[in-house]
Structures are given as C-alpha cells and as structure tokens.
Structure 1
Amino acid sequence: MDATELARGLFQVLETGDPELAAEVIGPGFRNREAAVSPPACSTPGPAGVLASGVWMRSAFSDLRFPVLATAVGHDQVWIRLRMQGRHTGPFVRFRDGALDQAVPPTGREIDFEQIHVLSLADGKVVRHEAVRDDVAMLGQLGVFPPAPATALRMAAWRISGRARRAAERITAESADAASLSRI
C-alpha cells in the first residue's frame, strides 16, 4: 500500500472495525496522541487501540464516515484533511485521565465537521497519529457548546441519575473488548 492508501485504511478501520485491515495498515507500536479523551483501551499501542477507538466512536455516531478532502505525503508522514460525519444516536462519552469527564445523551443530530490528521509511517504502516479537530464545531452541532438549555438539562439529568456513569462503564468495557480481541 502507498502512503495515501495507508491513511485511508486507518479511517476505514475506524468506520468498520475491520481487524484484518487494522493489522494490514497499523504498526504494532502505533501511538495515538489524541487518545486522552477516549476510553483507556484507545491508548493501547498497535491495531488494538485503533479498533478500540472505532468502537468508542461508532457507539456514539451511527453511519460514521470520514470522507477525505485532501492528502499530502512527505517523506514519512501523511497529512489528511477530511470530514467526520454521522448521526449522534448513542451517548458520546468523553474521558479525562481514564475517568468520565462528560457524557452527551443521544440527540439524533447529524455531525459534519472538518479535521486534519498527521500520520507518521514506518515499515509500510501507520505508527503515530496526531490531529487538529474542530471539536467545538462538533459540540455545537450536538447543542453542547454554546449550551442549549435542553441539552444542558439532559446532560445534568444523565449525570445525576447515573446514566452517564453507566454509559462510560459500558463503552469502556466495549472498547477494552475490541482491543483484547484484536490481540488474539
């Protein structure tokens, strides 16, 4: 695979959860610099962490897709500009230091915003990921920022009722399962 195909392959893994494709495009030492807001399993090196990240994102956004707008290839890097699109049909749970930070209950709203990803390559595989994402635009599309009163009330009710904690526990377990299955 050439560099552009590797980059597209990484995002196909996030969209589909395909473990064979993950093993083909992601190096065993892969590191995701952006995993800090994800469930802990997303920080797992190699394909396992990418598969865990895909489970996390697909649990919140159905019909998740990453249409590519442009790519630029350097010596050992690929820069890829794309859009993240989907429908918010499950809780979007964000983490900080491995613990629940924020849970946005499903809104049914579409998301569509731009991102730029920098992928480092070695030995014909993706080995590092960094991103510049417009998370504020995504949170705005979900009604979180600036806070829409109805969304703020639902988020508070979820936290008080324990639904936010249960959603975080569920997605943490599902992501860990995806990571552990990929290492079998």
Structure 2
Amino acid sequence: MALDHAELAHGLFRILETGDPVLAADVVAGDNHNREAAVAPPACAVPGPAGTLASGAWLRSAFSDLRLPVLGMARNDHQVWVRLRLQGRHTGPFVRFRDGRLDQAVPPTGREIDFEQVHLLDIREGKVVRHEALRDDITMLGQLGVFPPAPATALRVLAWRVSGRAARAAAEVTKLAADAADALTHGARSATK
C-alpha cells in the first residue's frame, strides 16, 4: 500500500531523525534530488535514499536529540509543503561544505537550537523525488554564537581551523555520511544473501 503525501512527509523527516534505511527505501525515490545538500558532505548529494541517509547522519553528528516536529502541512497532487522546527543540542562539530570541501566547522557549543523551516517535497508514484527548503540558517548560526560572532565562539572556530581540527572534523563527518549512504547498499546485499 502506497503512503499518502502526509505519511511521506513525516517519513522523510523521521529518516533524518533516526537513519532508518527501511523507511528510506519506502519513502525516497531512487532518483530523489536534495537541493539542500549543497552545504553538506558530498554523500548527501547522492540521489535517492542513500543521500537522505547521509544527510541524516550529517545532522545527527552535530546535533544530538535531533527532532523535526511538523507544525503544518499543505499539499496538491504532486507536492507537499511542510512547516517544521529543527531542534537539538549542538554536541558535535557542525561542518558546512562548499563545492564538496570544508567551508566552516563550528566546534560543539552544547547550545540548544530551535528554529523554523519550510520544506517543499515533490511526489511521484508514491515517493519523494525532490526536496527543497527555506531554512532560517541565520537564526541557527545565531543560536550557536557564530552570527554575529560571539568572541569566544569566533576564537574557537579560528583555533579549530588553525590547529587542523576543522579539517579532521570535515574528514570524519564526510566518512560518517558516506558510511550512512553505503549502509543502504550493504543492507540490501545482506538481505539477499
């Protein structure tokens, strides 16, 4: 039985929260495109469920107790608009990328994040085929003390870059995202043996 639009939307954000590969295969089309992967590790741009699993691993590596509660939803025959909050505690490095390379690594601050986003999901044949978001990243960076830069946070970010910790964090989160994307393939191989 195919999932309805609301179930697909809730399922997509549950995948990001949990990393559930079975749910990813049920909800995300093999050719799904995530426009928001532009600032994430390269594995997050892989089409299909693998990229979605990588995106969730990237977010969970930075924010423990990641939650994406849905506040509202609207839909037509082929799209769903979802208003939600992104919540969690910043307990791991939050690494942002540009063109697949390290752009910024924010060392863990222990701070809570809680900000609103709107997501647009294109649906085809009972699966999510495209994901776009309007995110309030400025509010999130403000909650982390990065924008405008709090002096202590700015010094920690600079120290991480100079010491090489930022590059190591980028390499670790890149591997973590790639492993999450690869887990779907390995899980499928294990199930067929």
> What TM-score, normalized by structure 2, do the two folds share?
0.95
| TM-aligned CA deviation for residue 181 of structure 1 | 1.6
Please give the secondary structure, in 1, of the residue aligned with 2:47. Answer: coil
The amino acid across from 1:179 in the alignment is A
| TM-aligned CA deviation for residue 183 of structure 1 | 2.0
- What's 2:191 paired with? none
Identity %: 71
How large is the Cα RMSD of the aligned pairs?
0.5
- What's 1:44 paired with? 46
Q: Distance in 2 between matches of 1:183 and 1:78?
A: 28
Among 61, 71, 74, the alignment partner of 2:73 is 71
- What's 1:146 paired with? 148
- What's 2:28 paired with? 26
Q: Distance in 2 between matches of 1:148 and 1:128?
A: 36
Q: Distance in 2 between matches of 1:36 and 1:66?
A: 20
Alpha-carbon displacement from aligned partner over 1:51-102 (angstroms, at most 9, x marks no partner): 0000000000000000100000112000000000000000000000000000
Q: Distance in 2 between matches of 1:112 and 1:122?
A: 31
Q: Distance in 2 between matches of 1:31 and 1:149?
A: 38
Alpha-carbon displacement from aligned partner over 1:25-58 (angstroms, at most 9, x marks no partner): 0000000011110000000000000000000000
Please give the secondary structure, in 2, of the residue aligned with 1:183. Answer: helix
Q: Distance in 1 between matches of 2:162 and 2:70?
A: 39
- What's 2:134 paired with? 132
The amino acid across from 2:93 in the alignment is P
Among 10, 15, 18, the alignment partner of 2:17 is 15
- What's 1:178 paired with? 180
The amino acid across from 1:3 in the alignment is H
> What TM-score, normalized by structure 1, do the two folds share?
0.99
**Deviation beyond 2 Å, 4+ runs, structure 1:** none
| TM-aligned CA deviation for residue 180 of structure 1 | 1.2
Please give the secondary structure, in 1, of the residue aligned with 2:58. Answer: helix
Alpha-carbon displacement from aligned partner over 1:154-182 (angstroms, at most 9, x marks no partner): 00000000000000000001111111121
Please give the secondary structure, in 1, of the residue aligned with 2:145. Answer: coil
Q: How many residues align?
A: 184
Please give the secondary structure, in 1, of the residue aligned with 2:77. Answer: coil
Structure 2 matches for 1:96-107, cutoff 5 A? Answer: 96-107=98-109
